[in-house]
Amino acid sequence: MTEAGLAADTLPAEAPVVAPERDLFSKFDPLIAERAALMASGVRDPFGIVMERVLGPTTAVIKGRETILLGTYNYMGMTFDADVIAAGKAALDQFGSGTNGSRMLNGTFRDHVEAEEALKEFYGADHAMVFSTGYQANLGTISTMAARGEYVILDADSHASIYDGCKMGDAEVVRFRHNSVEDLDKRLGRLPAEPGKLVVLEGVYSMLGDIAPLKEMVAVAKKHGAMVLVDEAHSMGFFGEHGRGVYEEQGLQLGTDVDFVIGTFSKSVGTVGGFCISNHPKFEAMRFSCRPYIFTASLPPSVVATAATSIRKLMTAADKRRRLWDNARQLHGGLTALGFRLGTTAPDSAIVAVILNDQEQAVLMWQALLEAGLYVNVARPPATPAGMFLLRCSLCAEHTTEQLDRVIGMFAAAGKAVGAIG
Amino acid sequence: MTDRTAIIDTLKAQIEPFNKKGITVTEATSFQGDLEWDSLTVMDFVAAIEDEFDIIITMNMQAEIETVGQLADAVAKLKG
């Protein structure tokens, strides 16, 4: 035994307590106290839900109770599609459970290429690059494309993955007021003309479900010579003629108007993964320079096989699209009629956000809904804009009219119980 | 009145609507420690300052600014 090994035996049984000022966890004390106070009020933990069984795209068993799911991003209900599941099972049998490597080295299998081909067809694009998650797609593209001395200009309500992409990169970061074309124009006008600029927008902003005036914003960005990236995570499959997103719905073209589109497999596609598509002739250089693409394992073969199958099916999913929009209108209309304050005045997207007074009211109402057999998401600052507490509902094409009638009934009862409506 | 004094006065006027605790603002006042602003308040305030002086204070610069005095220095430099 070495000296060091012997010394370990002589250490006291209990390690000395780290002084609070040197304990790295002291900074979490306010967070721990806030959570303890919330739990002490007797409510269930909104961030500790376990799906014991999943019965289909719209129902699961939570704490032994069958529950309607109205807080997943399974917009097009593809998770239990028979063809999608069959493709995943076949890939598991043929290619095994994982790739054990980076896309750049040993981690690109047939179906990674197949998923990229499906994306190129879906978007009519020259290039598609699949990442392991949507988060990494934003993190990687933004941090790699905009370098020191260049600028990223982003909406103040951008998703955390966009902010983190900015933080990881070396570019100068400029923020404009949410969805304000004028504010974007003013800020771009104050920047020096020469350096490269990337304007980052989202088609649908996921907290309130509001959509961006992309047409006007892109015009402003182009006027100032900036490239444009649009994150279409919450619109794929049901906005625009081909389901390409809000940019397509507003008449914009990939290549001429929008330079890069970011998307995800974890919402409408129904699995996990992220991607960036582009018509930029030099786009493939990203594969050799983007760290969140290179220094991580690629997606398992079954995941990319399900993604490729699902994407191809989404190209012709007109029925699902129609049902999803019908559902959004039914829920938005029902909750408006009950007197709830919603994130948008019209059913602009497949997200319907109910605005509540404070954390206590939001969590009490969330619990009342859960006990009635409905799961929705609780959202709170700093994820939400303007310090709002929300119950966020996201619709699925597979929700039935009867399910949504029941949902609206549950909202009426819970809303009255907590005083959110009269 | 010097340029810097004018900047400080403008900053103080812009801080007032966000000064929920009603503290006396000096050059040493810190945005996070003394005014106890959260990230959303900082964002609104920075946008107001940018428009007031017709400048851009990048998020990279904001990370280095803790006090009213430091902000005044940054504004003077950016205006220059």
pLDDT in tens, A227-269: 999 999 999 999 999 999 999 999 999 999 999 999 999 999 9
End-to-end CA distance of chain B: 17
Per-residue confidence (pLDDT) for residue B80, from 0 to 100: 78
Per-residue confidence (pLDDT) for residue A9, from 0 to 100: 59
CATH of the domain at B39: 1.10.1200.10
Task: Please compute the mean of the pLDDT values over residues A377-406 and round it to a whole number.
Answer: 94
The model's confidence at residue A46, banded by pLDDT at 50, 70 and 90, is confident
Number of domains in chain B: 1
pLDDT in tens, A143-164: 999 999 999 999 999 999 999 9
Per-residue confidence (pLDDT) for residue A13, from 0 to 100: 67
pTM (two decimals) = 0.93
Which of A190, A198, A200, A380 should we substitute to test contact with B (largest number of B Cβ atoms within 10 Å)? A190
* Cβ contacts of A176 on chain B, cutoff 8 Å: 47
The model's confidence at residue A417, banded by pLDDT at 50, 70 and 90, is very high
Which has the closest alpha carbon to A304: A130, A135, A141? A130
B59 with A190: Cβ contact below 8 A: no
Phi, psi of A286 (to 5 degrees): -60, -35
Q: How many CB atoms lie within 10 A of CB A375?
A: 20
Per-residue confidence (pLDDT) for residue A10, from 0 to 100: 62
**Is-contact A202 A181, C-beta < 8 A?**
no
H helices of A50-180, in order, are 82-95, 110-123, 134-145, 160-168
Task: Please compute the mean of the pLDDT values over residues A14-34 and round it to a whole number.
Answer: 87
How many angstroms separate the CA atoms of A159 and A165, rounded?
10
pLDDT in tens, A84-125: 999 999 999 999 999 999 999 999 999 999 999 999 999 999
B56 with A187: Cβ contact below 8 A: yes
The model's confidence at residue A1, banded by pLDDT at 50, 70 and 90, is very low
Per-residue confidence (pLDDT) for residue A284, from 0 to 100: 98
Higher pLDDT, A386 or A237: A237
pLDDT in tens, A296-310: 999 999 999 999 999
- Identical fold for domains A40-76+318-417 and A82-314, yes or no, is no
A206 is catalytic: yes
- How does pLDDT run along chain B (80 residues), one tens digit per residue? 578 999 999 999 999 999 988 999 999 999 988 999 988 888 899 999 999 999 999 999 999 999 999 999 999 999 87
Residues in CB range of A194: below 8 A, 6 or more apart: none
Domain ranges of chain A: 40-76+318-417, 82-314
**Is-contact A100 A230, C-beta < 8 A?**
no
Higher pLDDT, B2 or A318: A318
Tell me the Cα Rg of chain B: 12
Does residue A7 register a pLDDT over 70? no
Minimal Cβ distance to A174: which of B40, B54, B58: B58
Does residue A31 register a pLDDT over 80? yes
Which has the closest alpha carbon to A351: A161, A75, A162? A75
Q: A13-22, A129-138, B5-14: which has the minimum mean pLDDT?
A: A13-22
Domain that holds residue B52: 3-79
Q: How many CB pairs under 8 A join A and B?
A: 35
Residue percentage of chain A with pLDDT more than 70: 97
pLDDT in tens, A329-371: 999 999 999 999 999 999 999 999 999 999 999 999 999 999 9
Which of A142, A153, A173, A175 should we substitute to test contact with B (largest number of B Cβ atoms within 10 Å)? A175
Q: Give the ipTM.
A: 0.92
Residues in CB range of B57: below 8 A, 6 or more apart: B46, B49, B50, B65, B74, B75, B78
Which position among A112, A234, A320, A399 bears the catalytic label? Answer: A234
Per-residue confidence (pLDDT) for residue A79, from 0 to 100: 98
Class of the CATH domain delimited by A82-314: alpha beta
Burial of A95 (0-12, 13-18, 19+ CB in 10 A): middle
Which position among A112, A159, A197, A267 bears the catalytic label? Answer: A267
Mean pLDDT of chain A: 95
pLDDT in tens, A189-213: 999 999 999 999 999 999 999 999 9
Burial of A90 (0-12, 13-18, 19+ CB in 10 A): middle
Task: List, as ranges, residues 190-209 from A with C-beta within 8 Å of B.
Answer: 190-191
Minimal Cβ distance to A175: which of B51, B55, B59: B59
How many angstroms separate the CA atoms of A402 and A169, rounded?
48
* Cβ contacts of B40 on chain A, cutoff 8 Å: 381-382, 385-387
Superfamily of domain A40-76+318-417: Aspartate Aminotransferase, domain 1 (3.90.1150.10)
Per-residue confidence (pLDDT) for residue A51, from 0 to 100: 96
Reduced to 3 states, what is the DSSP secondary structure of residue A276?
A: strand
